[in-house]
Amino acid sequence: MNNSQLFTPEMMLYITVGLVFVVSLLVLLLSVYVLQVLKAFVEKQMTEEQRVAAAAEPSWFAQLWQKWNDFKPIEKEDEILLDHNYDGIKELDNHLPPWWKGLFYVTIAYAVIYLLVFHVFQTAPLQEEKYDMEMAAAAALKASQEADLVIDFDENTVTASTDAVELADGQKFFEVQCAVCHKADGGGLAGPNLTDQYWKNGGSFTDIYKVIKNGVTGTAMIPWESQLNPIRMRNVASYVQSLQGTNPPGALPPDGDLYDPQQEELETISNDY
């Protein structure tokens, strides 16, 4: 990893936020300390009576707690006692706590703002619109990525790749997308065994590529063209072909016709003459 990778804008952001956090913590600690010193200083100047009066006053936190909850002290409950009495069960006319009312008003304000933003002025997209936007962005990204690919083959001229990176890419996709039906080792489950020489749809490389691209109508083998770009389809097809003769344990029995690559080669040669 070199320096330019280490100091990405994202990394710089994290570092800055971290520093700001540490500095504000230090400032907070320092101000608490200064306040303590000031308090001690003021107390030193006070007379004895002032000191007793200050100690009797409820703390800052107790005052805040009282303000937010608006409790009626038990001694004053008579003032809010309602005049009904059910078999000795009485009812107090307590206020809602101010913190609760505050939250309630916040939700009302939020609902009004939400309504204005999303439904009256329509300044922000609703879920469905947002979904469409994200799909469009993904499609644009896919198109731009595919625009960079050099695709110099079609389903009739495609040849197997022997590149280790491309085969590994094919294997990864096979294990994620295809293994549910063909088993991770290609031995076959709901889909046929791909490791033997018997094929239902032909065993040449272009046959395999075509099955992956176009699927087999009326079976669970769907066309993958919309999900995999041509390079990736070639990688997956190359990986499938590389499974030939691996003979994994528990593989399904042969299905379809024997495909013999040598036979094919002879036929091609004889066709040429």
Binding residues for ligand HEC (CB under 6 A): 174, 177-178, 180-182, 190-192, 194, 199-201, 208, 211-212, 216, 219-221, 224, 236, 240, 256
Closest residue by Cα to residue 262 from 195, 197, 193, 194: 197
* CB environment 241-262: b (16+ within 10 A), e (fewer): bbbeeeeeeebbeeeeeebeee
Closest CB 126 distance from ligand HEC, rounded Å: 34
Least distance CB 132 / ligand HEC (angstroms):
27
SS3 28: helix
Least Cβ distance, residue 240 to ligand HEC (angstroms): 5
Task: Please say which residue, 160 or 236, places its beta carbon nearer to ligand HEC.
Answer: 236
Cβ neighbours of residue 112 under 8 Å, at least 6 residues apart? none
Beta-ladder partners of 257: 199
Q: Among 263, 240, 253, 251, which Cα is nearest to 167's? A: 240
Would you state the structure tokens that stand for residue 161, as one six-digit string?
């790749």
Centre a 10 Å sphere on the Cβ of residue 80 and count the other Cβ atoms it contains: 12
Q: By C-beta, is 201 or 244 nearer to ligand HEC?
A: 201
Q: How far is the CB of 98 from ligand HEC (least distance, A)?
A: 60
Q: In whole angstroms, how close is the CB of 13 to ligand HEC at the nearest point?
A: 39
Smaller CB distance to ligand HEC: residue 3 or 226?
226
Cβ-based nearer residue to ligand HEC, 70 or 248: 248
Tokens found for residue 270? 């004889």
C-beta of residue 158 within 8 angstroms of C-beta of residue 209 = yes
Query: By C-beta, is 153 or 184 nearer to ligand HEC?
Result: 184
Residue 223 CB, nearest approach to ligand HEC (Å): 10
Burial call 1-11: b when 16+ CB within 10 Å, e when fewer: eeeeeeeeeee
Name which of 192 and 230 has its Cβ closer to ligand HEC.
192
